[in-house]
Structure 1
Amino acid sequence: MTELSKDGWKNAMRAVCSVYVPVKNPLDSAAWWQRHFGLEWAMPYPPGGEHAILKLAEGQWLHLVETEGDFHSQFRDKLGYEMFRFTFEVREIEHIYDRLRTGGVNVQELQDRGSCGINFVFYDPDGNKFDVNEVVQAHRSPEEAAAVLNYLFAPANG
């Protein structure tokens, strides 16, 4: 049971159910997300439609909204870092990272953010910036977590 706050309200926000991403071509973008992440259609794409709707593994919807002109979904923080709008939670981040890199996706280097997990940033074909995260210590055995960290961050044996 959720406790009430001081003013008698409880947290009514349960989850994010939909995310809207600006794209130039919804069908092309949907095909890219399906190819690289295995997303499935949440709703059939209507002929002449203005956005494609894909479904994430836990049921949230990713709306790929046709947009004209210059756009992107990121913004700069106070220190000037270009932020992403949201982070995808994943499992088996090492396989996803390898697949995206070898698949020609624009990805940045992996980061070990300690108790926050392992992250990397990628860009979709329209230049939208996204973050990916797995807290391996929470989702894997200690031995598996150590093996993943070693695989991803140990210097290559030359």
Structure 2
Amino acid sequence: MSGKLQGNGLKCICSVYVPVRDPAKSARWWQRNFGLEFAVPFSEESDQAIMKLSEGQWLHLVQTEGQIDNQFPNKAGYEMFRLTFEVREIEVLHDHLLGNGVQIEELEDRGSCGINFVFYDPDGNKFDVNENVSMYRAPEEVEKVKNHLFAYAR
């Protein structure tokens, strides 16, 4: 069947590929810090570990011998991350990662876009997480989350 493309031909992102030095070590890190599970059985001899996000997308942790460069500078020179993970209960995740010693940058309230923070995996790959708290939570809960995360002085 041939036909004309109607509207947006891209449905979603099903896989993301991340360069790592040691897929087994990286997989354990993602399991410990985010609760990810293997999408397919893993062998220590494999050159990649495939982890599954909660909604089914796959995170491929691909072994590389080359340069690991998952960032790029924007026009202003800020080193950008390649993707943002959507999360729920960002305050719980933030506290969990801090407790595990994960390298994270400062929280940011991006207004209508939500609350974000950047974290790094053991190979230096930079990632962003976001929760649009005002979309998924009651206003009084949003205030509690912001108080917890930003320690607003009122």
Q: What interval of TM-score do these two structures reach, taking the shorter chain for normalisation?
A: over 0.9
Secondary structure of the residue aligned to 2:9 is coil
Task: Give the aligned partner of residue 77 of structure 1.
Answer: 74
Comparing 39-48 with 18-27, greater Cα deviation is found at 39-48
Q: What's the offset of the Cα at 1:128?
A: 0.1
Task: Give the aligned partner of residue 39 of structure 2.
Answer: 42
Amino acid at match of 1:20: Y
Comparing 138-147 with 104-113, greater Cα deviation is found at 138-147
Contact 1:121 1:132 in 2 (8 A): yes
* Structure 2 Cα separation of the partners of residues 60 and 16 of structure 1: 7
C-alpha change, 1:8 and 1:126, in structure 2 (3 Å) is closer
Aligned residues: 151
Q: TM-score, normalised to structure 1's length?
A: 0.91
* Structure 2 Cα separation of the partners of residues 21 and 72 of structure 1: 10
Q: TM-score, normalised to structure 2's length?
A: 0.93
What are structure 1's unaligned runs of at least 5 residues? 1-6
Amino acid at match of 2:122: P
What are structure 2's unaligned runs of at least 5 residues? none
Q: What's the offset of the Cα at 1:146?
A: 1.4
Contact 2:146 2:152 in 1 (8 A): no
Alignment pair present for 1:99 and 2:96: yes
Q: What's the offset of the Cα at 1:156?
A: 6.4
Alignment pair present for 1:123 and 2:120: yes
From 58, 63, 71, give the equivalent of 1:61: 58
Paired-residue identity, %: 62
Moved over 3 A (4+): none
